[in-house]
Chains A and B, each alone.
Chain A
Amino acid sequence: MGLLAHFQKWLTENGVPHWASYVVPALAGIIVALLFLFAMIIVFIYLERRGLGRFQIRPGPNRAGPFGILQAFADFIKVLTKEDITPTAADMPVHFLAPVVAFFSAIMILAVIPIQRNAFITNLNIGILYVSAISSLGVIAIFMAGFGSCNKYSLIAAMRGVAQLISYEVPVLLAIAGVLLISGSLAMRDIVSSQNIPFILLQPLGFLIFFAGVASELNRSPFDLMEAESEIITGYHIEYSGMKFALFYLGEYGHMVVASAVMTTLYLSGWKGPVLPAALWFIIKMILVFLVFLWLRATMPRIRVDQLMSLAWKFLLPLGLLNLFITAAEVLWQDNMGWKQFPWPFVFLNLGLAAIFIIIGSKLLFKTGGGRVEV
């Protein structure tokens, strides 16, 4: 039973009206989720700007407050006071609703993420299915923005975004299926509970596929084709200014936060860890995942559209299928081998298989480099 359910029980026992004992915990859950999300977004924005600065041998924003920690707040005030422009030809309601959809899908995912054993809003028994369904809503927001803006660049960005999401959702779900086979549950809390060792060790290939797919769905740097500044001038939010732009910005980092949280839950054994409190472990792991994303952003140049598509369909999809097949075979095998007691043979087997598959896959499946464009 989660903290909210305890709160609801406590309210009922203390003579609060029946309807209020449902409304009050719901509101409390929404507020707590929003506060957590905002706090993590501010931490992530700070890390992103300062960290990217250090990667590029410059100090990063360091004027607002000590070490620039107030920079995000200063930007927020600036963006609040700016004029909110809607293009004359824009589809008014769609243009208005797009930033809202972009942000609220991030909050909705947070409802099923267990930050601690009992700290979650709801322990949905189809948790990971819910996460993958809601995270796809983000691209609807992008399509709404791109289509409603009545701007050719934002429309190109929206079409790219949709194509990218459709392509990368398949390998991501295949990678998730590997985790589900081992854990035997769709509920996020049970996935964490079943991780005696982090699943990143048991599923190294699955983790890499998941990581690449999530980076693509989040429009992180090697795959940030829909906000490519050099081609389509920041893409879908080209016609947005003021608070609507800020909501897109918050939504982008909000999705970043929940993606890090989902990755922590699925592959890095969630809140589990020695010495430190469980919630702190969860946040530390989230920040570590984000730092890897940041490191990739500081290193990788943007890839072409055809490279993006061939990476998804020719490389990640076959490898995802293979990974699923091997995981299923190992799970069937586990009764004889004593999986839960001795996972280490499987760890080394899977690491070796991952290396072999990546090398073979890069030789046989994925040939798009060398300046050649394959249609």
Chain B
Amino acid sequence: MKFERYGRGMAKGMALTFKHLLRHPITTQYPEQKLTVSRRFRGYELVWYEDKCTGCATCAKSCPQGNIEIVTVEEGDHYKVLKFEVDTGRCMACGLCVEACPYQALYMGRGYERARYRRREVVLTKEDLKPSPERQPSGYANPEVEAQLPEQTLLVYRK
């Protein structure tokens, strides 16, 4: 007959929960606090390089939703892109336009915050889509970009 079941398990459990009481909360309160996302994270946004784009409109043809609108004019021996608009309200981030682009002018970005307050703000123009410190191409499935990134393992981590 073992010496058991006299309340020791209960005391152990209560000691454990008391230890948890002294820990710092692990919740990230999103709009104020943000987790740092890995640079290999494939986000929900597009990054467009104007200098590489020839205005061939392959991306527009490949888009299942027809979200991409391109207007070009002939200028000497090349085309100048006048308008490059993506309706991200309907974009499902499938990445077919990125795969289709023959000149690597389009990349998937790292960002995940696409929500806007106004409906017209979700239609991104040429200026919005250009790379910026916040809008950088993701290293996911993209060996050229990936090779330039420092090594890191965590997908998402806290600073």
Contact = CB atoms under 8 A, between A and B. Distances in A.
Interface in A291-310: 295-296, 298-300
B8 to A, nearest CB: 10
Interface stretch (B22-30, B49-57, B122-130): B22-30
Nearest to B27: A58
Given A359-B6, A362-B6, A362-B7, A298 B17 contact: yes
A318 to B, nearest CB: 15
Interface residues of A, number: 18
B26 A300 contact: no
A53 interface: yes
Contacts of B13: 299-300
B117 interface: no
Contacts of B1: 363
Contact of A295 (B17, B23, B26, B29): B17
A57 B23 contact: yes
Interface string A342-363: 0000000000000000110011
Given A55-B21, A57-B25, A296 B7 contact: no
A54 B21 CA distance: 5
Q: How large is the interface on B (under 10, 10 to 19, 20 to 34, 35 or more residues)?
A: 10 to 19
Contacts of B20: 54-57
Interface in B1-41: 1, 5-7, 10, 13-14, 16-18, 20-21, 23-27, 29
A55 B17 contact: yes
A296 B14 contact: yes
Contacts of B6: 358-359, 362-363
Contacts of A299: 10, 13-14, 16-17
A299 B25 CA distance: 17
Nearest to A358: B6
A58 B26 contact: yes
A51 B20 CA distance: 11
Given A295-B14, A299-B13, A300-B13, A57 B7 contact: no
Interface string B126-154: 00000000000000000000000000000
A369 interface: yes
Contacts of B24: 57
A53 B23 CA distance: 11
Contacts of A53: 25
Contacts of A58: 25-27
A58 B25 CA distance: 4
A345 to B, nearest CB: 25
Interface string A30-72: 0000000000000000000001011111110000000000000
B26 A57 contact: yes
Given A295-B17, A296-B14, A298-B17, A54 B7 contact: no
18 contacts: A54-B20, A54-B21, A56-B20, A57-B20, A58-B26, A295-B18, A296-B14, A299-B13, A299-B14, A299-B16, A299-B17, A300-B13, A358-B7, A362-B5, A362-B6, A363-B1, A363-B5, A369-B5
Closest CB pairs A-B (n = 7): A299-B17, A59-B25, A362-B6, A359-B6, A58-B27, A299-B13, A298-B17
Interface of B: 1, 5-7, 10, 13-14, 16-18, 20-21, 23-27, 29
Given A55-B20, A58-B27, A299-B16, 8 more contacts: A55-B21, A57-B20, A57-B23, A57-B26, A295-B18, A299-B13, A363-B1, A369-B5
